[in-house]
Each structure stands twice: as structure tokens, then as C-alpha cells.
Structure 1
Amino acid sequence: MYSIALTGNFGLMYLIYTEESLHRPMHIFLALLSFTDVLMCTSTLPNTLCIFWFNLKVIDFKACLAQMFFVHTFTGMESGVLMLMALDRYVAICYPLRYATILTNVVIAKAGLLTFFRGVMLVIPFTFLTKRLPYCRGNVIPHTYCDHMSVAKISCGNVQVNAIYGLMVALLIGGFDILCITISYTMILRAVVNLSSADARQKTFSTCTAHICAIVITYVPAFFTFFTHRFGRHTIPPHIHIIMANLYLLMPPTMNPIVYGVKTKQIRECVIRFLFKGKDNPSHNS
């Protein structure tokens, strides 16, 4: 899955960079999603593979805090980019004539930077809140990477502040993004329903199917991990928590390039043209 994630996302970014027909806001946001996906899974997977392949189960505390910071920053950015892509679809469907003037390259760059800095500013306190805790009960984390609450729970101090702040960050990032996505798609559905023909409705809404699949792939494992970590830890076996937490960081980077490659007509055509561009060369036919 990690190999597919790296190949698919780097391939998608290369395709969007080289094909002029894909230099549009929707595809630029997709390239940003692919870039975030690569960083998100790379922040944990090499360390996880070292555990399984070479039995290297030791990580320095400062390196653990750094990994925690990057994991939560990139997962927050993933959510933010999905929200920006929903707003992109809203503008494209509800204001098609103003689409190019509203979503300029400057606006896209500012939106991407704001999404990144939002994650950084909200996640930085995780490292300080975790570092201040006393660790006297052992130092074995029942996980394959340094998740905020997994590290906090092995301390012998009071982790209530960590838990409350973690919930607050989840609401400020995940809750806010899901609210924006829901409002965007409500407005999109209203616009689609008001279209005159059924063919036009289907064609317009089909531009959103890949994005809806990406939302489901990202948020379902994320919510399962988040809620079971806080409310179902006594009923769900630990290995299920660990498997889902790994899939939560690995599934979106693996599936997103496949979903967009299959569901997005322009990308599908560019991939086919790229793979078979030598077929029509006269030198080959001679």
C-alpha cells in the first residue's frame, strides 16, 4: 500500500505539473492533496516498517515528539485540503462564469498556506503538553507510531488537559472542515436539482463523485480511530485500534490517486495519452 501510495501520488503530481490542460484550480488542489498524502504516510510508514522488518522498536523522545507533530499537522492539512476542494466544486457549479476569476493562483496559494499554518499553530501545543508530563510507569507505546494520546497515556501524570485540548483541536479542524463540506454540498445539490435536464444534472454532479469518495475514504477511518480511542477502548481489542490507526494514515494516500484516476475524465485521458503516446509515432509504424 505504501508503494502504491508513493507511485500513485508522485505520478499524479507529475502529470498535473506537465500537462497544461490540468493547470486548473481543481487539479492544483488535487496536486496539493497528493503532496499532503505523501508527507502524511511518510511521517509514520518508514518507522513502522523498521519495527516489523528489523525489530527496531526504539525511538528517541524528541524524535517521538517530532513525529507526533508531523503526523497531526499533515492529517489536519489533509482535512483542510478536502474542505478547499469542496469549496472549489461549489464555486465551479454555482458560479461557473466567475470560476476562473474567483479561484486565481494567488487565492489557491493563500488558501493552501492558511490550511498549513492552521494545522501547525493548533498542533504545536501537543508537543509541549506531552513533554511536560512525568513518565514513571514505563516507556513502551502500544502503537506503531507516536500518536498524541498514545504517548500521553503512558505517563503517570494527569492527561485530562491533553484529552480536552485534543478534542478541541479535532473540533476546530475536523468539525469545521466537515461543516464547510456539508454546507458546500448542500448548495451544490440545490444548484444541481434546479438544472433543467436529467442529463445535465448527472453530468454536473459526476464532477463531484471522486471528491465524495476521497471524503469517505479519509473521514470514516479517522472518526473510527478518534471515537474508539476515547469511548470504546474497553470494548474494542487493542490490535483493532492499531490496525485502524495505521489504515487511517495509509488508506487515503493509497486510494486517492486510484479514485481520481478512474473517476476524473481529464486525468484518465491524460494517463492513457501518456502511457500510449509512442503508439502513434510514424517511426514506430514504419
Structure 2
Amino acid sequence: MTELEGMPIANIVLGEIIDEVTQKTYIFDTADKADVKPDLSAGKEDILRVKNRIIAMNRTEDICIGYDIKLTNNTFPTELMAIIDGGIITSDGYEGPEVGKVIERHPFTLNLYSEEKDYDSETLQYVQFAFKHNKGKPVEFKFEDGKFFVPEFESHSRPKKGEKPVYIKFLKQLPTGDTVPVTPTGTGDMAVVGGTVTQSNSDVGVTVTSNVKWTFVKAINQDDVTAGNFVVKKKSDSTVVTGNVTIDSTKKIVTFIPTSVEKGVVYIAEAKAVNLLDASGTTTAILVEFTTM
């Protein structure tokens, strides 16, 4: 006989969302609760009964086809809103998806990390629960006077053929590396010599003031609006400036708001060639130099 000893796990130490289209990874440590319920294809039970006797029974089992997940978070991260709700982050906030139209939300992998605790409350190891191929649902809003707004994000996880509905791993440390913390970024307090610097070509114009704004002639593919395609860096050594890249609802205006820049330094703002929304081609890349003050 084998005696089973359970593993005491507690807390949501970290949440991680991986956009399966752009491959961007977002981490957040403000999750409060996650309700994970299996979505079942219910089996059937046929009973052959003759008067007061059961002669035979034919039963098919329930089959799990995925999970329905409700994640409660203690803060309001617009990045999660954009992925789950299906809208876009703008230069001054967030806009939900257009009403009356079907939205192709990006599928994402949701990883939730808990921790195994020792009797003295020390963390022995971490436990990762992974749910693949989630699709978000429109976000519900509940406001109450005198209380903090606590958003709830819902999604459906539907694994593909041959995959498992949940993967559980035991880890010695939490994930690190190429991740984007889900926190507000950008200060918009940059100043440039001359007050305004501009540049343009046949596809796009760029204006540098307290931020960098690219205005395109035609709408572009919002999936191409990434930190890799819209870059601000030092001219001297190509050090990349961190900041927040957003696109407006027309999909023509991209704004970069820097986290911080140094004064008296020459920078280069670059927009690489990106795909047009109508798939008719790509834009022409553009560079502009400016000096901070």
C-alpha cells in the first residue's frame, strides 16, 4: 500500500499571458482569484429495464474539451483588456471593439503560478498551471461606491487535437527573460530642441514633441504595432528607449510614449515597413533624428 502525501500549495504568485499571434509575453502579479471550470461534452446513460429489474446498462463517459476561466485581478491593466476584450490601446486610454462586428481576438496561453509552502511558510518550489489556446470574452464592468474596481476577465481554453486541457509543471524559479510587465508605462514629459521635429514620406509622417507620433496615409495591420517595428534609440550606441507603443481606433496613428530619456542626447525614431490592413502591400520605412533638452 502506498501512502499519498499531498502538496500544500497556496497563492497566485504570478500570472503570465502569451499572445499566440505576436508571441508577446505579459506578466502580472496582481491576480486575486482564478475560477477554472472544465467544459464537458456530457456522456449518456441508457438503461434496459424490465419491470423492476435492470437487465443492462450502456454508458458513455463525459469528455473534457477545455476549460472556462474567470480571472479576477486587483488592478485594471489595459494590456489584458486589449487581449481578452479584443479592443485596442490608444494614446490616451483604451477603446473596446467596434459594435456590431465580429472580432478576431488573438488566442493566448494563460500560465498561472502558485507555490508549494513548507511548515515555516518558506517556498519550496513553484507550480505552473498552463491553459493553451484561450479566446477572451467581452469584459464585464461592476462599479460600487466606496470600493476599488476589481475587473474580471473571462476566456475559453480549447486545446487542439492531441493536446491536453491542462499542463502542470514544478519549477524551481519563476519565469524571467523577454517579458513585458503589465503596468502603466510612459511619462510623456520628453522635450526636444525646436519644440517639434517632423519628417515624412509618401506613406507616413512622423512628429516628435513630448512623444513620437507616426501618422499613416492608409490603415495598417495592428499586429505589426510592436516595439520591434517602432523604435526610439540613441544615435551614439543604438541603446533602445523603453516606452509604450499604441495605435488609435482608425489604425492610422501610432504613438510612442517614452518611459524616460536623457537630456541633451541625439535620438533616432524609426518606423520599419509594416503591412497595410487591406493586405495590399507594406509601408515605406522612415527615420527621424531629434535632440532632447
Higher helix content, 1 or 2: 1
TM-score range, shorter chain: under 0.3
TM-score of the aligned structures, taking structure 2 as reference length:
0.19
TM-score of the aligned structures, taking structure 1 as reference length:
0.19
Higher strand content, 1 or 2: 2
Q: Which has the higher contact order (CA 8 A, sep 6+)?
A: 1
